[in-house]
């Protein structure tokens, strides 16, 4: 049985709806921090910015208002209209790209968001457990706060662009918190990435949407990249929009053989991403050439036991763009956080 068959999907929480229509990463997060990190404590005697200040001077912009004057040079909004029937081919590629670009435009008008984030990742060949994380993201300057709810209850990670030498601050959860001090780590370094597929600097919906746009633009020029747009009902009865992406030729530009993305039907926000690795034996430059794939490249989505390995799943729920984010949300001195030195 393949991993994608044996791994149960977590129950899906009801999504919060928005009065302003909005329209996913791969958001990367920081995983477990072990006792091997103890030496890093010596490099974090104080949590100070590189300029010696411990303040967070950036003022958060207000939420967008319909009364805000528009600039004549601003591109016209694109309606977020998902097709009623199944769409494939170049037209579907262009349509999805236009929707994602409009989602990006609308997301950029908000200072950030809060969410419950779930992830399932394969690290060093092993599929880990589902993780549930409380997430706060500020778009500019990029700031991320994460509190792990399960497993490793109480683990916290904080990153704020331009502060702490552009390093993240973290501490483990559970009993390890009593043994391991607060750490200051390079977000792209081996210790921070030991249990993560993506760095914390790629976290958040806006980063996810931008990554999706990057790949969708590449797909326009690849005849072996196939797309299907449809609508499905999830196991808990929720109707969502879906894009199925199938790549038959392995290139540096296509890290996954297939991807399945769900979008909230009211906002077109990407709320779930599932990615699969290439089958064994398909190296760079090689093409999947099985009769089934050549006849119907999307049949694989209905027959998951196909030799392709599940790599990662990311899910967003309880999205909140309305509750204000404050400087204290991204400050390790927040009394509600646990970033003590030891």
pLDDT given at position 200: 97
Q: Are 157 and 30 in contact (CB under 8 A)?
A: yes
Of residues 320 and 72, more confidently modeled: 320
Note the pLDDT tens digit of each residue in 30-66.
Answer: 344 343 333 343 334 455 544 333 322 223 233 333 3
pLDDT given at position 305: 57
| Region 311-334 average pLDDT | 96
- Residue 208 reports pLDDT greater than 70: yes
Query: Whole-angstrom Cα distance, residue 321 to residue 298?
Result: 35
Any alpha helices (H) in 220-327, and if so which ranges? 291-295
178 pLDDT tier (thresholds 50, 70, 90): low
Cα–Cα nearest to 146, from 165, 121, 164, 171: 171
Q: Give me Rg for the CA atoms of the chain.
A: 21
Peptide bond before residue 141 is cis, with ω within 30 degrees of 0: yes
- Residue 285 reports pLDDT greater than 80: no
- Distance from CA of residue 75 to its chain's centroid? 26
pLDDT given at position 232: 96
Query: Whole-angstrom Cα distance, residue 79 to residue 25?
Result: 24
Residue with tokens 């390079």: 186
- Give the orientation angle of helix 89-108 with respect to helix 205-219, to 10 degrees: 150
2 pLDDT tier (thresholds 50, 70, 90): very low
| Region 308-326 average pLDDT | 95
- Residue 164 reports pLDDT greater than 80: yes
Note the pLDDT tens digit of each residue in 217-269.
Answer: 999 988 889 999 999 999 999 999 999 999 988 888 889 999 999 999 999 99
Tell me what percent of the chain is helix, strand and coil, each rounded to the nearest 5.
Answer: 20, 25, 55
215 Cβ contact list (under 8 Å, min separation 6): 245, 253, 254
Q: Residue 292 — φ and ψ, nearest 5°?
A: -65, -45
- Beta strands 112-123; 126-127: pairing state: antiparallel
pLDDT given at position 152: 85
Nearest 5°: the CA angle 207, 132, 178 is: 110
pLDDT given at position 35: 32
Arithmetic mean of pLDDT over the chain: 79
Query: Whole-angstrom Cα distance, residue 330 to residue 320?
Result: 17
- Residue 142 reports pLDDT greater than 80: yes
What residues does each domain of the chain span? 88-330
Note the pLDDT tens digit of each residue in 57-109.
Answer: 223 233 333 333 334 444 556 678 999 999 999 999 999 999 999 999 999 99
pLDDT given at position 65: 33
CATH architecture of 88-330: Clam (2.50)
pTM of this structure: 0.78
pLDDT given at position 296: 74
**DSSP per position, 264-276:** ETTT--EEEEEEE
- Residue 288 reports pLDDT greater than 90: no
Q: Residue 229 — φ and ψ, nearest 5°?
A: -105, 130
| SS3 of residue 297 by DSSP | coil
């Amino acid at each position: 049985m393949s991993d994608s068959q044996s791994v149960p999907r977590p129950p899906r929480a009801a999504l919060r709806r928005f009065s302003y229509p909005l329209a996913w990463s791969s958001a990367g997060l920081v995983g477990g921090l072990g006792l091997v990190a103890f030496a890093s404590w010596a490099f974090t005697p104080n949590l100070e910015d590189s300029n010696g200040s411990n303040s967070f001077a950036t003022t958060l912009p207000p939420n967008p208002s319909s009364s805000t004057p528009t600039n004549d040079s601003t591109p016209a909004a694109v309606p977020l209209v998902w097709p009623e029937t199944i769409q494939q081919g170049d037209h579907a590629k262009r349509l999805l790209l236009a929707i994602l670009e409009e989602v990006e435009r609308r997301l950029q008008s908000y200072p950030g968001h809060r969410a419950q984030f779930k992830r399932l990742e394969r690290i060093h060949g092993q599929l880990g457990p589902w993780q549930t994380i409380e997430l706060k993201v500020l778009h500019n300057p990029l700031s991320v706060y994460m509190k792990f709810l399960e497993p490793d209850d109480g683990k916290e990670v904080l990153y704020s662009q331009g502060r702490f030498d552009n390093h993240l601050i973290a501490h483990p959860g559970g009993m390890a918190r009593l043994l391991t001090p607060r750490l200051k780590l390079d977000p792209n370094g081996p210790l921070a990435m030991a249990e993560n597929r993506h760095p914390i600097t790629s976290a958040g919906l806006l980063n996810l949407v931008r990554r999706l746009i990057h790949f969708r633009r590449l797909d326009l020029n690849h005849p072996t990249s196939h797309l299907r747009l449809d609508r499905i009902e999830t196991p808990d009865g929720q109707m969502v929009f879906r894009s199925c992406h199938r790549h038959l030729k392995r290139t540096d530009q296509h890290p996954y053989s297939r991807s399945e993305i769900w979008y909230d039907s009211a906002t077109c926000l990407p709320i779930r991403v599932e990615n699969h690795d290439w089958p064994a034996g398909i190296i760079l430059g090689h093409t999947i050439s099985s009769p089934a794939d050549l006849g119907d490249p999307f049949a694989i989505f209905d027959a998951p036991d196909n030799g392709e390995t599940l790599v990662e799943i990311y899910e967003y729920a309880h999205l909140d763009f309305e509750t204000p984010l404050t400087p204290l949300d991204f400050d390790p001195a927040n009394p509600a956080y646990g970033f003590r030195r030891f």
